[in-house]
Chain A
Amino acid sequence: MHPELEALVRAYDAARDGLGPDAARLRAVFESQVEEALAQRPGLSRESLLNLVRLQHRRWLRAQQTPPALPPKA
């Protein structure tokens, strides 16, 4: 994955995880990365970028899952 997209996905994941005292700051970090990405890509709408991050986050979460253990050999 492109490092900038991965950074967006990781920041999104951190902001989405938990309602602790740090949650608002993590959301602000994500929002600032979104603004930065948009500033570098004129013409890209915020909603398109967010939909891309949402979808990519789902793919990334699934890729993080530990693969099931192999069945024992007979």
Chain B
Amino acid sequence: MSTASAATGSPGSAPGWLTPAARAVEDFAGRSVDEWLAVCGKFLDWHRANRLLQDAPPEVCRESDRAHAWLLRSARMMQGQMLDPDFPHRELARRVETALWQLEEAWAQTHNPLTDAEADTLIARLFPADAPGT
């Protein structure tokens, strides 16, 4: 991996025995984040199918919220670590940031304080159906 030197200094200055170890750590970090992203993707797909497209039973909502909150906490923790300028996987960092936003939005959708009636009032005021182009 070409980014190994980012975590260990320049290749010339790193002790010979350290480079493979640092590379192994980087590979492990990359694989772990990739796996975590796959779990997030699966959860978000499930959330869309079971919490957005239909009304899940209360016990399913509670269990889903627990898993969701855990994923949010782990995403924030991971993002904090990736803000380190030495973190070598910039593309993974960008994907974690996107995953965090998607998790936050999914949570905001199932805990939206806006009621249907309030939404309809807002729509009538801000996006009237008789506006030009409607």
Contacts and interface: CB of A to CB of B under 8 A. Distances in A.
Contacts of B112: 51, 54-55
Nearest to B110: A58
Contact of A54 (B95, B105, B122, B126): B105
A70 B43 CA distance: 31
B123 interface: yes
Interface in A28-74: 41, 44, 48, 50-52, 54-58, 61-62, 65
Contact of B114 (A1, A12, A41, A51): A51
A16 B95 CA distance: 13
A5 B52 contact: no
Given A19-B99, A54-B112, A2 B52 contact: no
A15 B108 CA distance: 15
B32 to A, nearest CB: 15
- For the side of the interface on B, what is the size category? 20 to 34
B9 interface: no
Given A55-B119, A56-B123, A2 B105 contact: no
Interface in B86-134: 94-95, 97-99, 101-102, 105-106, 108-109, 112-114, 116, 119, 122-123, 126-129, 131, 133-134
B53 interface: yes
Contacts of A1: 127
Nearest to A1: B127
A3 B53 contact: no
Contact of B108 (A27, A44, A54, A62): A54
Contacts of A65: 53
Interface of B: 37, 40-41, 44, 48, 52-53, 94-95, 97-99, 101-102, 105-106, 108-109, 112-114, 116, 119, 122-123, 126-129, 131, 133-134
